[in-house]
Structure 1
């Protein structure tokens, strides 16, 4: 960062003339003061880029000077340059939010390096990230060209997510555009992969396919159950893999990450299908046949996810492990959340505690309706950011912190993800056609077959038949399904909102995470 202004405060400033000249030769403007008072007065009128501070000065110490400066400019970076190596001073300086700590005598290059780290950090990170992604671009391109299988696709998606999060730090719109283009290509290839393989997976059944919604409990939760070690299975509704990466550092403050995996959501990637399949351990068709009174199709009145606890009970009974003590808790509002916080210790007596937390799904639906959320989560970065902010201050995090000192296991997962929709596809249907944006079912659907994955016989896809001759269609990539009437209004209303129900990596390749006590 050429021409950056440095304020250097030291009562022996005369002895640092050679250091000052060295920095000026490197393009920095260096203003020097022999005491803290003069430096503070100067900084009130002239905001520098960095302050270098000695600690031991007559009149006012370096830490006192720092405190006064932080009152003027809270975010102004400061570097302590001092002979004092005592641990107490270091801790106090770090507590005062210094950017760096240098011990005298200092080498001119040492000071330069510290300044570069503070002032050029973003540029250096951006350059390195861009170079690294350019090298990885070809590898990802080759991986996509190599017909990835069910195990290969999650690896590609994880890598794209990694680079998306890294690229955000660079602030480079050009590189982000290239990455988004590669992600689009990947989603296009993923749609073809799912179109070709999905029905075979359903017919093959568990054991002969990748882990899918009905397999999740059996494969990823039940094997962890151990006497004396409570397992908490937390299903955060509609949590994408990138959103998991945002809350991961917060969870790792209290717990140790032991496994980070993904599994495949079934179609449609919608709560009533996926979540019921998770807890029943069955495809929706089988649930509808075995629990005809409890299963509701899209167009039927009433809640579609009110029987999860009953499905879970039946699933555990089928395991023939009568001694499993379990609980089921559903959080759909603040009152439920506060009850979870106050009662979390009571759950430690169980082998398995299932907690369904509905926040992220409410956020994605509310984001369509509420202008405030459209502002906050107008793009992918905003959507991730609001998820992180929610978890950081959430009752769920408070509850987990309360039991972090106990020997427990945690599995965090979800039922489906979501995708930001941008491309409208026209669909014509009769009155019984469902209103969902990423999938529809009805008797006389008229659509462009290139835009969707269609199940002419839903039973082959493990789905109940709402009406005779009903078929299901699922939007591909970033598409959303609109009727011709009021077409432009609905296109503008829903464009760039986050939806789920269709076929995309974001909706179908979803996290299943294991953590344990530290």
Structure 2
């Protein structure tokens, strides 16, 4: 069992810490609220003892920050007061228990055992709640129900990270696989209707539906994190709630769920084939540079809506880019300031030495914990903090999500097949239609093509494409990697947040 004790007078507590260590507990300490919050972000603790009165940031504020990062974290408040008002304040901020100074070691052990036992009880209750919820499950009937179901799955993912039994986690993984199989069938049957306006907000109409109404009320910063999944959004939005009131809505990415298609569509207000037809100079069939005309496409979008406003555009691919641009972004007085941040790559590049990369990519809990630690310390977070002080409204979203691929499917075709693992295009493509959506005419779903012989294949669920030559080698190389471009809830169902400064 691992304990964190946060107290500015930690030296006075050394006898208790020693006795806890003798009982087999591992104890780490922090002498300030700021250090305690940082440790709680970086490491996993079974329980935190938190002093209620400390210089600087007080205990209740530290408690709120810790719970915003991880609502399941067990925290015991150490206080000198038994006043009812104080305890209500503390419990209102999700404190799990409290102990009053002065206390004996036996009293400390009693609180410790009582609180950790509660964790076991919570796990049992969680199993019952999980069984009850999914016993009555019926497959979603429309796009709104799929959003609600996906939100429920992600909520359970996050809850099970800390409290769920291994059996429950295995069951959850199976439920998610089943859900994605059903979701793929739903998309295959209904996606064409979506494109005709009978469905959710899509990439190409996100601006008109979500951004334009906010823009009419005043200046706005539009921030797009490349490749952000809903569980990551929930994690980082918890950190931002200290500075913003956040209203979360959802939209669907177009297919393929990849940057050249989804993001170009978002900034142009057009489907990919429409971009090629109306602005062929802004569409490229080359793999590199397919998104280099986003600013120009956005200018055309403003013309389409007869908007004569000032706009700025920033694309940030590295921490150095952000540090160089942060003052310009924060002080920009344009009516709409667009900031595109290569979010997922920046997160992965934050791993010290990059030596732990495999461990991070093999364990999604580690990835989320890394995000929880890295984001509040990053210059990206600083942008949000400074914008909140300037009372600027923000719309935060992403262009697509991603999924960990697990199952290979062989794709056949000529030598000119595109290299992507979740979608392919080229002549004479052949693939098992149980594992991928095969489009003999890409124009049916408004995808551009250079030649009438070109076909598209888009992987379903958690499949990824491998070639018939050296299939074992390809399978081993790419299995369990994070990919995007296909049909899954994680890649298609995306959050966008309207954020008002507090």
Q: Work out whether the TM-score is over 0.5.
A: yes
Aligned with residue 160 of structure 2, among 145, 159, 167: 167
CA distance in 1, matches of 2:366, 2:14: 43
Q: Give the corresponding residue for 2:327.
A: 342
Matched pairs, number: 439
Aligned with residue 19 of structure 2, among 2, 19, 43: 43
Change (3 A) 1:371 1:200: farther
> Is residue 329–residue 337 contact of structure 2 (8 Å, CA) maintained in 1?
no
How many angstroms does 1:514 deviate by?
1.2
Q: Give the corresponding residue for 1:130.
A: 127
Q: Give the corresponding residue for 2:235.
A: 246
CA distance in 2, matches of 1:41, 1:422: 45
- TM-score between the two structures when normalised by the length of structure 2: 0.79
Q: Give the corresponding residue for 2:316.
A: 331
Q: Give the corresponding residue for 1:29.
A: none
CA distance in 1, matches of 2:18, 2:461: 57
Aligned with residue 293 of structure 2, among 307, 310, 318: 307
Q: Give the corresponding residue for 2:261.
A: 273
Q: Give the corresponding residue for 2:214.
A: 224
Change (3 A) 1:406 1:428: same
CA distance in 2, matches of 1:424, 1:364: 24
- TM-score between the two structures when normalised by the length of structure 1: 0.77
CA distance in 1, matches of 2:131, 2:474: 38
| Structure 1 range deviating more: 325-334 or 156-165 | 325-334
Change (3 A) 1:436 1:86: closer
CA distance in 1, matches of 2:294, 2:17: 66
Please state whether the residue corresponding to 1:402 is helix, strand or coil: helix
Instruction: Within 5 Å, give how 1:129-208 maps onto structure 2.
Output: 129-139=126-136, 141-142=137-138, 144=139, 147-202=140-195, 204-205=196-197, 208=198
> Is residue 252–residue 492 contact of structure 2 (8 Å, CA) maintained in 1?
yes
> Is residue 202–residue 251 contact of structure 2 (8 Å, CA) maintained in 1?
yes
Q: Give the corresponding residue for 2:116.
A: 119
Please state whether the residue corresponding to 2:457 is helix, strand or coil: strand
> Is residue 99–residue 108 contact of structure 2 (8 Å, CA) maintained in 1?
no
Please state whether the residue corresponding to 2:487 is helix, strand or coil: coil
CA distance in 2, matches of 1:286, 1:185: 35
CA distance in 1, matches of 2:402, 2:292: 22
Gapped regions of structure 2 (runs ≥ 5): 2-11, 28-50, 55-73, 90-94
CA distance in 2, matches of 1:50, 1:100: 20
CA distance in 2, matches of 1:245, 1:457: 38
Q: Give the CA RMSD over aligned residues.
A: 3.5
Once the two structures are superposed, what CA deviation does each residue of 1:394-416 show, in whole Å capped at 9, x if it has no partner? 21111111121222211111111
> Is residue 433–residue 441 contact of structure 1 (8 Å, CA) maintained in 2?
yes
Q: Give the corresponding residue for 2:203.
A: 213
Residue 463, structure 1, aligned to residue 447, structure 2: yes
Q: Give the corresponding residue for 1:321.
A: 307
Once the two structures are superposed, what CA deviation does each residue of 1:187-211 show, in whole Å capped at 9, x if it has no partner? 0000100010112222x14xx3310
Change (3 A) 1:49 1:162: same
CA distance in 2, matches of 1:132, 1:114: 26
Residue 488, structure 1, aligned to residue 472, structure 2: yes
How many angstroms does 1:381 deviate by?
2.2
CA distance in 2, matches of 1:262, 1:161: 14
Residue 291, structure 1, aligned to residue 291, structure 2: no
Once the two structures are superposed, what CA deviation does each residue of 1:142-184 show, in whole Å capped at 9, x if it has no partner? 2x1xx52011110110001111111111141110111111111
Once the two structures are superposed, what CA deviation does each residue of 1:434-471 show, in whole Å capped at 9, x if it has no partner? 11100101111121122111111101111111322111
> Is residue 418–residue 507 contact of structure 1 (8 Å, CA) maintained in 2?
yes
> Is residue 337–residue 396 contact of structure 1 (8 Å, CA) maintained in 2?
yes
Q: Give the corresponding residue for 2:30.
A: none
CA distance in 2, matches of 1:112, 1:513: 44
Please state whether the residue corresponding to 1:424 is helix, strand or coil: strand
Gapped regions of structure 1 (runs ≥ 5): 2-35, 52-62, 67-75, 92-96
CA distance in 2, matches of 1:158, 1:194: 17
How many angstroms does 1:45 deviate by?
7.3
